Structure 1
Amino acid sequence: MGRAAMIIGMITVENLTKRYGDYTAVDDVSFVCRPGQVTGFLGPNGAGKSTTMRIIAGLTPETSGTALVGGRRYRDIPNPATQVGVLLDASAQHAGRTGREILRLSAMTMGLPMRRVDEALAMVSLTDEESGRRVRNYSLGMRQRLGIANALLGDPQMLILDEPANGLDPAGIHWMRTLLRDYADRGGTVLLSSHLLHEIEIVADDIVVIGHGRIVAQGTKQELLAGAGTRVISTNDEALGQALYEAGLHAAPAADGGFTVDAAPVDVGAVALERRIQLIELRPGDGARLEEMFLQLTQRTQRDQRPAPDALSFGGQS
């Protein structure tokens, strides 16, 4: 893929800042979302996630810095929904219209053939009966599916989704994960905000962690979880613990046996092999480690904050 094609499909945020009086909601934020990748956007409530995404989507003006989609500001893109699909609040849909009516109006606005409505409904598994209901009668999970259908309607190259798994049951979360992974594997760019850390770990390629409006960590999933270490259990944990200590590796006993070691699995395995200690389990740190990393990185920003004014008017999440 050439440089021009990469820029077309990229979401680029540079030195983005948003202030409301003396309150700074977003503070000098920079990151890039690339084609073919899912970028997970993590942070506690009030961290600035939704404000950042609203700026990218042209709904909130920045104080300084830039947020570009495909090399342009959202408001400068002709027929933007055909380039970038956005879902920021699934409840912000006309309750008196049916799901199909909402998609038909969107298709008309974008100048799309009506067959795209049926295709989008099929993509999110909303049946004819469900799409014929008034949105006021939808569950939150159904509203999420309709919102994702609307985001996909214009066959965009980029997706910006804020907490799209809210209201979905486990089967729905698995469906969404598969849909987004397939979309990225076909070259699409995904910026995904979620508080479901395990889901982010499964689906994301890159991770951006924000706290109190500032980026506290970013990189590939592998880079950020490298510190999550290794989970190891042996037939002789006492001997293994001593061997790891003598090898200079920090090992913390785990509640269910074995250790969590601040080292790569290959290094832990080499120590056990040298001492001829039989291992029962040897693997990278599990999903709980992402939560552990998240809490460690954001512990100084885990506090109640007054939400930005635009967040109050748009569902209250940030």
Structure 2
Amino acid sequence: MVTMIEIDHLTKRYGAFTAVDDVSFTARPGVVTGFLGPNGAGKSTAMRIMCGLTPASSGEARILGARYRDLTNPALQVGTLLDASAQHAGRTGREALTLAAIAIGAPRTRVDEMLSLVGLTPDESRRRLRNYSLGMRQRLGIAGALLGDPQVLILDEPANGLDPQGIHWMRGLLRGFADQGRTVLLSSHLLHEVEQTADEIIMIGRGRIVAQGATSELLAGQGTVVASLDGARLAEALRREGHAVSGAADGELTVDTDGETVGRVALQAQVVLTALRPAQGAGLEQMFLELTAGDARGTNGQEAVA
């Protein structure tokens, strides 16, 4: 099976400034991949290169085994949403989708199907885009991305402007798309939503990848949390075996080993356990802040190339 999105040593320079710095990763079929980073980290630049809108200084971005510009009618294979506001304000939503369908050769029946899918009513579809809310523009943009029934979705901040109900709807939409064996690359600042939606995460800071892997593995805690009827005795026994132990003796202890080992030590020490579970990870937000601390912006910071 062809890897759906493959980024190979991608670099983009603007004079002395490097927006994307030797980035390599893949986004696979059947997987929602979260593409994260602070403002100015290079996410949007990388996505524009993938979609053929910005040339790379070096390296390559391939979709379905080819560069975007080399695909035959790429809009039927790759659905994109990079800027929901980049639509003609004087057209209606239906007109915008109809013209897009004609341009890419998609069946006209897809217009009504997509309007229904994204929850835009017939009355809303007849409104001028200048009268659309941000959330309605996002829904129309998602409809446009799906219009050609693509195998790949590349979405930059698709939840921007959506209310909680809309975000929940989008999560199900993307999950269903990936479950069909298709590929989703999703950029978002809504970290809690990405944590619930993405199977894998690519995180960049200052143009470079700072973390990548399965979401569950990246966010997994290390070690074991244990509680017992004699915490001091258990802690002493664990330390004798060479394990690091933290926490109060009269409460839960965190140990730098697996639960089976903790259980064996407790049995040997004849200590009754009342709780034993894997340590929990810090969560995506804390990991994001720790890994991108160098990109933190002060109140007087200037916006960099995204």
Give the C-alpha shift of residue 85 in structure 1: 0.3
Q: Who is 2:287 aligned against? A: 293
Deviation per residue, 1:83-138 (Å, 9 max, x gap):
00000111111111111111001001011221100111121111111111111111
Distance 1:272 1:171 in 2: 47
1:285 alignment partner AA: Q
Alpha-carbon distance change, 260 to 221 in structure 1, aligned in 2, over 3 angstroms: farther
Q: Specify the SS of the correspondent of 2:292.
A: helix
Q: Who is 2:110 aligned against? A: 116
Check whether the contact 1:230–1:268 (CA below 8 A) recurs between aligned residues.
no
Deviation per residue, 1:9-57 (Å, 9 max, x gap):
x101000000000000000000000111111111111100000000001
Distance 1:273 1:184 in 2: 46
Distance 1:157 1:306 in 2: 34
Q: Who is 2:272 aligned against? A: 276
Check whether the contact 2:154–2:185 (CA below 8 A) recurs between aligned residues.
yes
Q: Who is 1:307 aligned against? A: 304
Matches within 5 A, 1:1-318: 3=1, 6-7=2-3, 10-226=4-220, 228-229=221-222, 232=225, 234=227, 239=232, 242=235, 246=239, 258=252, 275-279=271-275, 282=277, 285=280, 289-303=283-297, 304=301, 306-308=303-305, 318=306
Distance 2:237 2:122 in 1: 60
Alpha-carbon distance change, 249 to 100 in structure 1, aligned in 2, over 3 angstroms: farther
Deviation per residue, 1:237-274 (Å, 9 max, x gap):
955983696365556659xx856666566666776777
Give the C-alpha shift of residue 210 in structure 1: 0.2
1:137 alignment partner AA: N
Question: Which has the greater radius of gyration?
Answer: 2
TM-score for both structures, normalised by structure 1: 0.84
TM-score for both structures, normalised by structure 2: 0.87
Alpha-carbon distance change, 272 to 57 in structure 1, aligned in 2, over 3 angstroms: farther
- Structure 2 gaps of 5+ residues are none
Percent of residue pairs bearing the same amino acid type:
61
Check whether the contact 2:227–2:253 (CA below 8 A) recurs between aligned residues.
no
Q: Who is 1:312 aligned against? A: none
1:278 alignment partner AA: T
Alpha-carbon distance change, 168 to 239 in structure 1, aligned in 2, over 3 angstroms: farther
Distance 1:34 1:253 in 2: 41
Give the C-alpha shift of residue 301 in structure 1: 2.8
- Structure 1 gaps of 5+ residues are 309-317
